[in-house]
């Protein structure tokens, strides 16, 4: 049986709990023959033309491809932020399009986290308060018990311990994005979706974000789907899906590698003419 480390006990002691069978045996996320067409004046734009993919629990998958190839569209469908024109998204065994709006919203809120290119932090709140936001919005007490423990824990994961009381304008861009990553992870989502999270950052700062994502995957078995056009970022993934013209052109298996060396990936992309 597959097990995952659960640190949700109030005393913080790690506890091994079995994964539900559906998660242990099947993919955590599936897209089946997804299409998406946007109306544009008299015509339509076919942003996705039949994409199927499957992501295993604990996997780090990158979607790479040129601008306009359909990466963000695909991420939004997979994360339930938008509906496909046809095809299905299955998240933890549930067909999203068959759920009521309420249930779909709850599934997205409880089981997914998002990080975007812009950090979207609240300027008046400090680091801890920004990270605590999902709980605050739900009306929960964030000052004690398991929730306070989770907030501390995720701030440590993104390496911001000691900066809990800094406001966003007292942080570097990379630190701000790490707050956004912590906020996305604090609810322990089954899936983390990230769309160009390093797009506004220089190389070194971008690396800090990618390291934080990778640690969450490696140490906490967080499943991640990362959109990027940067091969150095994609090289953190276990598997890279190359998106072009609304389809998946190729899959590049990299495996879990501590060095995140991009040479193999760059070589394969060159063979594909990218
Ligand atoms: N709301 C929309 N209305 C019309 N067309 C859209 C809309 N959103 C996306 N598109 C089109 O769909 C295609 C795919 O867009 P998408 O944003 O998924 O690309 P992308 O791969 O994420 O690109 P980038 O790397 O520039 O972010 C593009 O041709 C885009 O112009
Ligand atoms: Mg995009």
Express each pLDDT in 191-200 by its tens digit. 999 999 999 8
* Residue 23 lies inside a defined structural domain of this protein: no
Say yes or no: CB of residue 91 within 6 Å of ligand 1: no
* Residue 50 lies inside a defined structural domain of this protein: yes
Predicted pLDDT at 98:
86
* Residue 252 lies inside a defined structural domain of this protein: yes
- Domains of the chain: total: 1
Pick the closest to residue 134 from 185, 193, 169, 170 (CA basis).
185
**What average pLDDT does the structure give for the chain?**
91
Kindly report the protein residue whose alpha carbon is nearest to atom 17 of ligand 1. 72
| pLDDT band, very low/low/confident/very high, at 37 (cuts 50, 70, 90) | very high
* Residue 134 lies inside a defined structural domain of this protein: no
* Residue 102 lies inside a defined structural domain of this protein: yes
- What is the rounded distance in angstroms from the CA atom of residue 127 to the CA atom of residue 156? 12
Give the residue-averaged pLDDT of 115-128: 96
- Ligand 1 pocket test, pick from 73, 82, 116, 198 with the greatest ligand atom count within 8 Å of Cβ, gives 73
User: What pTM, to 2 d.p., does this model score?
Assistant: 0.90
Burial of 175 (0-12, 13-18, 19+ CB in 10 A): buried
Express each pLDDT in 142-188 by its tens digit. 999 999 999 999 999 999 999 999 999 999 999 999 999 999 999 99
Say if CB 185 and CB 156 are below 8 A apart: no
Give the residue-averaged pLDDT of 1-21: 42
Q: Please determine, for residue 19, whether its predicted confidence score (pLDDT) is greater than 50.
A: no
* Residue 260 lies inside a defined structural domain of this protein: yes
CATH code: domain of residue 229: 3.40.50.300
Predicted pLDDT at 217:
96
Domain of 78, in residue numbers: 32-120+190-271
* Residue 160 lies inside a defined structural domain of this protein: no
* Residue 71 lies inside a defined structural domain of this protein: yes
- Ligand 1 pocket test, pick from 39, 41, 44, 72 with the greatest ligand atom count within 8 Å of Cβ, gives 72
- pLDDT-wise least confident of 25-29, 134-138, 225-229: 25-29
Give the residue-averaged pLDDT of 240-269: 96
């Amino acid at each position: 049986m597959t097990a995952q480390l659960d640190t949700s006990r109030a005393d913080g002691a790690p506890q091994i709990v079995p994964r539900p069978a559906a998660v242990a045996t099947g993919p955590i996320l599936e897209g089946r023959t997804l299409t998406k067409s946007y109306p544009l004046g008299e015509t339509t734009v076919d942003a996705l033309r039949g994409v199927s993919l499957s992501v295993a629990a604990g996997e780090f998958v990158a979607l790479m491809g040129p601008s306009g190839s359909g990466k963000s569209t695909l991420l939004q469908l997979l994360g339930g932020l938008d509906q496909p024109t046809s095809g299905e998204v299955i998240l933890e065994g549930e067909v999203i399009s068959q759920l009521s709006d309420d249930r779909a919203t709850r599934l997205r809120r409880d089981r997914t986290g998002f990080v975007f290119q812009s950090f979207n932090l609240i300027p008046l709140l400090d680091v801890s308060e920004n990270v605590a936001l999902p709980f605050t919005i739900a009306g929960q007490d964030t000052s004690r018990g398991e929730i306070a423990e989770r907030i501390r824990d995720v701030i440590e994961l993104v390496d911001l311990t000691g900066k809990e009381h800094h406001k966003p304008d007292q942080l570097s861009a990379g630190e701000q994005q790490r707050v956004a990553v912590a906020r996305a992870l604090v609810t322990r989502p089954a899936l983390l979706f990230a769309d160009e999270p390093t797009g506004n950052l220089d190389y070194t700062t971008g690396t800090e974000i990618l390291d934080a994502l990778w640690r969450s995957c490696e140490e906490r078995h967080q499943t991640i789907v990362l959109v990027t056009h940067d091969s150095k970022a994609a090289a953190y993934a276990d598997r890279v899906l190359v998106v072009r013209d609304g389809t998946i052109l190729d899959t590049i298996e990299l495996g879990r590698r501590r060095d995140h060396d991009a040479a193999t990936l760059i070589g394969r992309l060159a063979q594909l003419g990218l």
